[in-house]
Amino acid sequence: MKTLARNVRAWFDDRLPVAEAQDFATHKTVPTHRFSVFYYLGGMTMFFFVIQVVTGILLMLYYRPSADGAFESVEFIMTVVPFGWLIRSIHSWSANLMVFFAFVHLATVYFTKSYRKPREITWVTGCILLFIAMAFGFSGYLLPWNQLAFFATKVGTDIAGAIPIVGEWTLRFLRGGDRVTGGTLSRFFGWHVAILPAITAVLLGIHLLLVQIQGMSVPPKQKDEAAGKRPMKFFPDFATRDLWGWILALGVLAAIAALFPWELGEKADPFAPAYKDIRPEWYFMFMFETLKLVPGGEIFHVEYEAIPILLFSLGGLLLVLVPFLDRKVNRTGESPLFTFIGILALVYIVGMTAWGYRSLTPFFIVIGTVLLMFLLSLATRHDAGPAEGQGEGQSEGRES
């Protein structure tokens, strides 16, 4: 048995740099400081993404993407297929948790200024991955072909129609015609299961590769603290904590999915009046709510509605470009202006979401998240003692 393992190892050794990879893995370290808990957030987002891939593939075994069959096939999955209700419920819940953790990941990276040189590409790919996650959510929302999804898609794609010049083309491109029909469903299905996953695979590959090459960033304000502590070994210390986090997440996910199964609603009817509570997924709420405030009318042949849409697009673009706009942080390690803008944006997003739901829950979720981060930072604490001078994290060695 042992010789077999050794022979297999030798076979790969002859062909690939296995020893180098092993060397890299054993020497990989993660800096320790009071915000080290943030380093688990990307992995947590990726864990939910993996759940999405697995459950998504499973759902595809029974799902039929047509206006005649989609609703019925989801109904079949939920009522006839063994554990179908659970798989679908997990897919829906995990999608929301994935987007949620992507947002938290983004916020922590933003406020700890981890986008600064040399991690600009990691930031840009990460932002695009977040937009793709939202596109996954938007396209997946329609697939059960129920009333809520149908009207949310009508509204969502109609918004795109208000963009000056390219609006009409975009609307027809998204809908696969003038109206939301079975053709739209086919298109959204294609995006959801082929195009978006393909783009994600490439971007996620780059994102993860860069994290491996560059290591974790130490926030400028935690530099001294991290330098005074021995960094954590990736194997086994960090990886074990990652693993425990994922097992915990799986347990919580299974519990929510079982206790609060995702509803199916009624089949879409293009000739029925819209519901009272037609609303998008929570992560579109702040934009949706902003649009509600804009009165009808136009200025210079541009609808008022187009103005917030253009502003949100501009906001998205600025978010991607943050590492190139924030020059100061590379020089001084500080950029209070960007921290201030970030807080402002966060207050606006959470505030508008709360306003949209007429509920304070979004604020409680933010407070709860901060508390959870604090608790997890205690749970993942690693006291390896002071640094030995030479034992600096390789991640930091590359930055100076």
Partner 1 sequence: MTEITPTGKSRRGFLNWFLGTAAGALAVAVFYPVLRFVSPPEVPEASTNQVEAGPTNDPELLEKGFKIVRFGADPVILVRLSDTEFRAFAGTCTHLDCIVEFHKDKQRIWCNCHNGDYNLQGQVVAGPPPKPLEPFKVDLVAKGSGQPKTIVVSRA
Considering only the stretches 83-91, 110-118, 181-189, 352-360, report the one whose residues sit in contact with partner 1 under the rule CB under 8 A.
Answer: 83-91
Q: Is 58 one of the binding residues for partner 1 (CB under 8 A)?
A: yes
**In angstroms, what is the minimal distance from the CB of 244 to partner 1?**
12
Residue 349: C-alpha distances to residues 60, 109, 111, 257, 345 (Å)? 34, 17, 16, 27, 6
Q: Which is nearer to partner 1, 135 or 254 (CB)?
A: 254
Q: Which is nearer to partner 1, 255 or 344 (CB)?
A: 255
**In angstroms, what is the minimal distance from the CB of 235 to partner 1?**
17
| Cβ count within 10 A of residue 290 | 17
Binding to partner 1 (CB under 8 A): which residues in 238-297? 247, 250, 254
Q: Which is nearer to partner 1, 162 or 193 (CB)?
A: 193
Q: Is 53 one of the binding residues for partner 1 (CB under 8 A)?
A: no
Backbone angles phi, psi at 51, to 5 degrees: -60, -40
Q: Is 144 one of the binding residues for partner 1 (CB under 8 A)?
A: no
Residues 6+ apart with CB under 8 A from 262: 88, 89, 92, 93
Q: How far is CA 391 from the centre of its chain?
A: 34
Q: Which is nearer to partner 1, 206 or 254 (CB)?
A: 254
3-class DSSP state for residue 386? strand
Q: Which is nearer to partner 1, 87 or 132 (CB)?
A: 87
Is 326:111 a contact under the CB 8 Å cutoff?
A: no
Q: Which is nearer to partner 1, 81 or 204 (CB)?
A: 81
Q: Is 87 one of the binding residues for partner 1 (CB under 8 A)?
A: yes
| Size, binding site for partner 1 by CB under 8 A | 12
Q: Is 81 one of the binding residues for partner 1 (CB under 8 A)?
A: yes
Q: Is 344 one of the binding residues for partner 1 (CB under 8 A)?
A: no
Residues 6+ apart with CB under 8 A from 218: 31, 33, 226, 393, 395, 396, 399
Residues 6+ apart with CB under 8 A from 150: 142, 180, 268, 269, 270
Q: How far is CA 260 from the centre of its chain?
A: 22
Q: Scan for tokens 């997946």, then name that residue.
A: 140
Considering only the stretches 76-84, 192-200, 220-228, 353-361, report the one whose residues sit in contact with partner 1 under the rule CB under 8 A.
Answer: 76-84
Considering only 8, 16, 19, 83, the residue that binds partner 1 (CB under 8 A) is 83
Q: Which is nearer to partner 1, 59 or 124 (CB)?
A: 59
Considering only 19, 61, 317, 360, the residue that binds partner 1 (CB under 8 A) is 61
Tally helices (H) and strands (E) across the chain. 18, 4
Considering only 18, 34, 64, 86, the residue that binds partner 1 (CB under 8 A) is 86
| Alpha-carbon gap, residue 109 to 45, rounded angstroms | 13
Contact residues for partner 1, defined by CB under 8 A: 58, 61, 80-84, 86-87, 247, 250, 254
